[in-house]
Structure 1
Amino acid sequence: MVWKVIQSEWLKIRKSSVWFPVILAPLLTIAIGVMGARHGQLLNRTSSSPWSSYYLIIVVAYSLLLLPLLTGVLASVICRFEHLSGGWKQVLAFPVPRTTIYCVKFLYVLLLVALAQVLMMFGVIGTGLTVLHITSSIPWQLLLRSILGGWLACIPFIALQLWVSMWWKSFGAPFALNVILTIPAVAVAHSSRFGPIYPWAQPMLAMLPSGHQFLNVTTKTTLTIIVSGILLVAVGWFHFQKRDITS
């Protein structure tokens, strides 16, 4: 049953526009990073850590702005098929548990975000080697910890965006809400008190290179991600279970 729902969801998205933002977000980030590195001359040959300097430029723009917006767009697109022409009625008419439908949609958003993270990482490596001509060894541990940490930090954010996207029919409303709540993250992320508990700031905190042993995430941020992730997944799932979807 679960596999059939996974296949059905794949048929919906494989030729849809969902792949465009997945590719565009890393491309924009890499372009910003290359221009910033060249303009600021941060990657000269005397730099002790050119990879870290280059990655720092990229990760701030990507994790603080593009990644939250990307996640919101993906959640909206995944639910858009059911909001069109009474799609929810058709889907829920089949003998498929709502829990399965919710989990499959959550899984696809999670995998698409993971794909964007991987593309971004290999974009950093590719441009660093071929465009910026960085000759020092690639810091695989730093990159992998950052990419994985940012991905895990998106879990509560994905749950929240999926909940909103299942609730609202309009594609623009969840995106507008996402933009409004992304803007304060620029200021909140620098606060040691509010940054770790603000979902829109958590991806940046998790992706910034740091000395923490478990990924790049502090204990406070890790606990916040776990608790908020469980809470938001539970609330979104419960609302989807109980809500009378008539469109």
Structure 2
Amino acid sequence: MMSRILQSDFLKLKRKGIWFLVILGPVGVISLQAVNYGLRYDYLVNGNSDVWAGLLSQIRGFVAITLLLGIAILSSLTANLEHQTNAWKQILTLPISRWSVFTAKFTLNAFMLLISCILLVLGTIILGLILGFGTGFPTLDILKVSFYPFFAALPILALQLWLSVTLTNQGIPLAIGVFGAIFSAYSFTLPDWLIWKWPLLQNDWGEPIWNVVLGIVVGVLVYSISVLDFMRRDVK
């Protein structure tokens, strides 16, 4: 049943420009670094014994804020597909569970964000090769920079989707999402329990994997609470 809902949601994405946004995020990050290295190549490369690590360090600084902005925008746009046509009540009267409806939306957004992560991996490798860094790129480190923030941000994805689905006025979840993204960029010195800090992969233990673990565990918890609320709530 959920596969049919997903197919329906994918069909609704046609001619909506949402896939352009999925591509825009990673392309924007890579393009910024292309310009950065184009202007400051000698400064960034000369004297750097590990140019690939230097490139990843530059990219890492933009991943979290781009990801969180993407979560806010995609969650709002996919939920607004029903809000714009007042279709929520019609959908919820069909012989399908509310759990399936919400989970399909969550899966759709997660899938699109994973596509962005894959594009970021490919873009990072291509940029490094163009810059002449050689073929000995650190595959594992590139995967970590590209995918770790996504898993760390799962609680935020569940929260933003819940807000976008349950609120007709999309200005509210979008404002919260944009504020969260900006807040995340300046949260290095804030407590580790703040979920908006987790995509930065910074913690007192110095181990990014803990942000990933917390993101998955808390993400499942926030998703479960969101589903329970959605199942009981009258969505307009």
TM norm structure 2: 0.90
Please state whether the residue corresponding to 2:96 is helix, strand or coil. Answer: coil
Listed one character per residue, the Cα deviations across residues 126-153 of structure 1 (whole Å, up to 9, x for unaligned) are 12212x1212511101112332322211
Percent pairwise identity: 26
> What 5-or-longer segments of structure 2 have no aligned partner?
none
Which residue number in structure 2 is paired with residue 124 of structure 1? Answer: 124
CA distance in 1 between partners of 2:18 and 2:4 (Å): 20
Which residue number in structure 2 is paired with residue 205 of structure 1? Answer: 201
Which residue number in structure 2 is paired with residue 83 of structure 1? Answer: 83
Count of residues paired in the alignment: 234
How much has 1:43 moved relative to structure 2? 4.3
Which residue number in structure 2 is paired with residue 58 of structure 1? Answer: 59
Distance 1:154 1:83, change over 3 A: same
CA distance in 2 between partners of 1:134 and 1:27 (Å): 19
CA distance in 2 between partners of 1:229 and 1:154 (Å): 8
Moved more, 152-161 or 34-43: 34-43
How much has 1:91 moved relative to structure 2? 0.8
How much has 1:73 moved relative to structure 2? 0.7
Does the Cα contact within 8 Å between 1:92 and 1:98 map onto a contact in 2? yes
Does the Cα contact within 8 Å between 2:72 and 2:177 map onto a contact in 1? yes
Which residue number in structure 2 is paired with residue 48 of structure 1? Answer: 49
> What 5-or-longer segments of structure 1 have no aligned partner?
none
How much has 1:46 moved relative to structure 2? 4.7
Which residue number in structure 2 is paired with residue 68 of structure 1? Answer: 68
Which residue number in structure 1 is paired with residue 137 of structure 2? Answer: 138
Listed one character per residue, the Cα deviations across residues 117-173 of structure 1 (whole Å, up to 9, x for unaligned) are 11111111112212x121251110111233232221121111011011011112332
Does the Cα contact within 8 Å between 2:72 and 2:178 map onto a contact in 1? no
Moved more, 90-99 or 174-183: 174-183
Does the Cα contact within 8 Å between 1:79 and 1:165 map onto a contact in 2? yes
Does the Cα contact within 8 Å between 2:63 and 2:149 map onto a contact in 1? no
